[in-house]
Amino acid sequence: MDLSGRKVLITGAASGIGRATAKLFAGHGAELVLLDRAWGGSGSATPPSVAGAMHLDCDLTQEASVEQAVAQGIEALGQLDGVVNCAGISLRKSVEDTTFDEWNVVIDTNLRGPFLVCRAASAVLKRSAPSTIVNVSSGAAFRPSFNFGAYCASKGGLLMFTRALALDFAPFGVRVNAVCPGVIDTPMIERAIARSPDPEAAHARFTSNAMSRMGSPEEIANVIMFLTSVESSFVTGAAYSADGGATYH
């Protein structure tokens, strides 16, 4: 799968699946603009960059920040052939214990953020067609998890947004698909295990799938690259599960 000459914007690119995707795309010839609020820091707190990419600080929960970053990225690249929405956060709390602000920040990051990015990039993606959007949803879009109400709602919403956008954008030559990972060995999962009252039980729960292990960010990046490449030219509105067999649907 060759991405030479493809100009792609990736959110959440400072760590986890987003960073793995950025490194993979860069290695296959893509020109990249990478968005993450982590690049707003300085010194040792700033994540390492990806060679050859443009790195922009962006808060996906803020409309003005998204519009400015996307416009700046498009200006630098000259056009835009693809978008990958990787940024996301999690919250393990019962609905009763979830505050209004906590609910909003999960929905704003995981659902509103991709909407703002897609909207800001839509006109350029249509002009650059054939082009692609890949949204990173979750296995939680299909199967709820205990005490993950806000997260499940956000990822389920992102999956249906993907399908609706695929229908709207198909006449313009823009394909829109979702990747639905299971539990992936990322810093977010490491923190969840460390905060658990029983880390061993948490690890066992996170590896409860047909393959008895977590996935790697690189494995999800490979699926994202397929959906961004011309090899998936007849695929749109799809939800690709990459979860080690945790769900069958």
**151 annotated active-site:** yes
- Mean pLDDT per 10-residue interval, the chain, length 249 residues: 93 94 96 92 69 94 97 96 95 92 96 98 96 95 87 95 98 98 85 85 85 93 97 97 78
Strands 82-85 and 7-11, by their bridges, are parallel
Q: How far apart are CA 103 and CA 57, in angstroms?
A: 23
Architecture per CATH, 7-184+217-240:
3-Layer(aba) Sandwich (3.40)
Q: How far apart are CA 189 and CA 140, in angstroms?
A: 14
Helix (H) or strand (E) holding 179: strand 174-181
From 115, 142, 151, 161, active-site residue: 151
pLDDT value at position 248? Answer: 58
Domain ranges of the chain: 7-184+217-240
* Residue where the block lists tokens 């509103």: 112
Exposure b/e, 188-209, CB count within 10 A at least 16 = b? ebeebbeeeeeeeebbeebbeb
pLDDT value at position 44? Answer: 52
pLDDT value at position 41? Answer: 62
The number of beta carbons lying within 10 Å of the beta carbon of residue 128 is 21
pLDDT value at position 143? Answer: 85
Q: Provide Rg for the chain, Cα atoms.
A: 17
